[in-house]
Amino acid sequence: MSSTAHHPPTGTGGCDPGAIDELACVAAGIQRRAEVTQEHLPQLREFQEKFNSARTQYTTARLAAKTDLDEAAATLGKVREQIRCRVTHEQRHCLQQAVDKVFDDIRRCQGGWGCCVDDCGCEFDDTVGRDDTVATLSARIARYTADTLKAAACFTALDGELTALPERAAKIRTEAAQLLADVCDAVLGKDVVRLYARLLVLLRRITEAWRGFETVSEFVDCLCRALLCVLKGWQAIAVL
C-alpha cells in the first residue's frame, strides 16, 4: 500500500498570507472610525437638540430684546434733546468720529458680526488618493480638525446668543435710563461732552445689539450651517 506525502502550503494555489495583514489594517481602520464617531457623537446629539429648539428660543429672545432696545432708544431720544444744543457742532462731529473709530476697530479685531461659519472652511474630502501618504493624510486630518473645532465654537457662540441677546439689551436699557438721570443731575449734568459721548456709545450699541443678524431666519440658517459643518468634519475625519 502506498502512502501520499503531505506537504505544508507554500503560498501558491490562491493562498495569500499577506491578506491577513491587509485585513488587520482594514479592521484597525474600522475600529478607528468607530472610536472617532463615539467620541464626538454626544456633542453632535447635543447640538442637534439645541438646533431643534433654536428658532423658538431665539424668536423669544429677539422679542424681549426689541422691547428693551426700543425703550432705550426712546430714552436716548430724550437725552439728545436735552444736551444737543449744549454741545457744539465741532464737538459732536469729533465725538462721532472717535466713537465710530473705536467700534470699527473692535469689530475688526473680533472678526466682524454676522455668521461665523466660513463656507470655504467646511469642505471636507475623505477620499484617499494613490499619492497620499501618512504625512499628507495626517496634515489633512489636522486641518479638518481645526476647521471642525472652529465650526463647533461658532455653534456654541450662537447658542449663547439665546441668553446673551436679551441680557445685552436689558443692560443697554438700564444704562440709557442712568444716562438720562445723570443729564438731569445738577453736578453730573454739567459735563455735556462726556454725556454726549455716552449717548453716542449707547446708540451704537443698540445698532450692533443684533450682532449682524437682521432676522430670525438669518440666525437659524447660520446655526444650521455650523451644525452641518461640524457633522461633515467629524465624518470625514472618521473615514480618514
pLDDT tens digit sequence for 120-156: 668 898 888 888 888 998 899 999 999 999 999 999 9
C-alpha distance from residue 201 to each of 85, 97, 196, 206, 216 (Å) = 18, 11, 9, 9, 25
The answer to whether residue 219 is domain-embedded is yes
Owning domain of residue 32: 25-110+132-239
pLDDT in tens, 175-232: 999 999 999 988 888 999 999 999 999 999 999 999 999 999 999 999 999 999 998 8
How far apart are alpha carbons 76 and 203 in whole angstroms? 8
The answer to whether residue 119 is domain-embedded is no
The answer to whether residue 10 is domain-embedded is no
How many domains, in total, are found in the chain?
1
The answer to whether residue 102 is domain-embedded is yes
Residue carrying the nine cell digits 503531505: 6
Residue carrying the nine cell digits 461633515: 232
Q: Are 54 and 220 in contact (CB under 8 A)?
A: yes
The total of other beta-carbon atoms located within 10 Å of residue 222's CB is 19
- pLDDT for the residue numbered 223: 94
pLDDT in tens, 208-220: 999 999 999 999 9
